[in-house]
Structure 1
Amino acid sequence: MGVGIEVLIVDWPRVEAAAPGDRERLLINAAFGEAYSDDLFEHGWSWSAQPGEDWYGRYAFRNTLGSYKPHFWAGHRWDHMRDHVEPTVREVLDRFNDVLFWHRLEDTTGAGSELVEQPCTWDADLLLCCPPDHVPLIAGWWQQVAPRLEVLRGPFNQHAAEPSGWITTFESFADFLTDWAEVVTEAERRGWGIVGLRC
């Protein structure tokens, strides 16, 4: 399957309170401990019921089988359709997508989130590290674009739909964005950050 990703929202101070050498193990235990399921078709939140373990939540994206490939393909699809999306929607989704899965492509597109990239000081193998102070900005971008998601259907169908790979239909793209929005919205509600562990 290649690279996988486990997405967690975490109470940032709780992780940083652990010794630097213990943080990766803490995150791995959160991702693969009680909240983990090996059901490849799982979708949604998993929470620990253990006392004192209420500092994280694990989110399973629909139709990804735990693979990182759909995240790559969503960025690929967005890259092919974005020039055909009306500017007000494109600018906001550039920012939202860039932070979460488009991987700061402003060098080639001139677009991006404009958030200052903060290197993660945790000694952990992460595909995504989004501190709590970034989350309200990302959630705000989603709130701007969510009511207009349907305007992406035409550009996707004309310029990004393909029969191969992942995220092949507009519906799968919209579901993927909505899943990321669920993660961001819950992290904002709790004042937490977001991490994606490479696995």
Structure 2
Amino acid sequence: MGVGIEVVIVDWPRVESVPVDDREELLIEAAFGEAYSDDLFEHGWSWPVQPGADWYGRYALRNTLGSYKPHFWAGHRWDHMRDFVEPQVREVLDQFNDALFWHGLEDTTGARSAFSERTCTWNADLLLWCPPDHVSLIASWWRQAVPHLESLREPFTRHAADPGRWISTFESFADFLTDWGEVVTEAERRAWGIVGLRC
């Protein structure tokens, strides 16, 4: 299946209280320990119940089977449709998508992402690293974008749909964005960060 991703929201100070060389082990335990399920069709939150383990939550994105490929394909679809999206919606979704999975803002638009200079300071194999101050900004983009999701249907259908592949329909694209919106909204509510572990 190739590269996989496990999405976890974490209490940032709790992780940073651990020595740098021990953080990867801590995150792996959060992603694959008590809250983990090997159900490939799982969707939504898993929370630990052990005392003292209330510093993380794991989120399974629907229809991804734990693979990172849908992230690539969602970015590919966005790249093909974004020129046909209303400018104000395109601007916020450029930033939202780039922060989480697209990573093509500068290449495609010449603009720079708000987080293009960020560097992970943790010694861990991560595909995504979003401290709480980043999360609050990403969540604000989501709040601006979510009322306009239906307006993406026509440009997606005309310019990005590709039956038989990942994220092949508007519904799968909207579900993917909505799942990431759930992750950033919950992380912001708790003032936590988000990590995506490579697996």
**TM bin (shorter chain):** over 0.9
Deviations 1:74-93 (A, max 9, x none): 00000000000010100010
SS at match of 1:36: coil
SS at match of 2:83: helix
Q: Which residue of 2 aligns with 1:139?
A: 139
The number of equivalent residue pairs is 199
Q: Do the aligned residues in 2 keep the contact of 1:132 with 1:191 (CA within 8 Å)?
A: yes
Q: Do the aligned residues in 2 keep the contact of 1:35 with 1:48 (CA within 8 Å)?
A: yes
Q: Do the aligned residues in 1 keep the contact of 2:79 with 2:108 (CA within 8 Å)?
A: no
SS at match of 1:42: coil
Question: 5 Å matches for 1:4-153?
Answer: 4-115=4-115, 117-153=117-153
SS at match of 2:101: helix
Q: Superposition RMSD on alpha carbons, in Å?
A: 1.0
Question: Structure 1 runs of 4+ off > 3 angstroms?
Answer: none
Q: Which residue of 1 aligns with 2:164?
A: 164
Q: CA deviation at 1:164?
A: 2.8
Q: Which residue of 2 aligns with 1:155?
A: 155
What percent identity do the matched residue pairs reach?
79
Question: 5 Å matches for 1:156-195?
Answer: 156-195=156-195
Q: How many Å separate the matches in 2 of 1:147 and 1:163?
A: 26
Tell me, which stretches of 5 or more residues in structure 1 are unaligned? none
Amino acid at match of 1:166: W
Q: How many Å separate the matches in 2 of 1:45 and 1:60?
A: 7
Q: Normalised by the size of structure 2, how large is the TM-score?
A: 0.97
Tell me, which stretches of 5 or more residues in structure 2 are unaligned? none
Q: How many Å separate the matches in 2 of 1:147 and 1:3?
A: 32
Q: How many Å separate the matches in 2 of 1:49 and 1:140?
A: 30
Q: How many Å separate the matches in 2 of 1:87 and 1:184?
A: 23
Amino acid at match of 1:168: S
Q: CA deviation at 1:112?
A: 4.7
Q: CA deviation at 1:110?
A: 1.9
Q: How many Å separate the matches in 2 of 1:109 and 1:67?
A: 27
Q: Normalised by the size of structure 1, how large is the TM-score?
A: 0.97
Q: CA deviation at 1:115?
A: 3.0
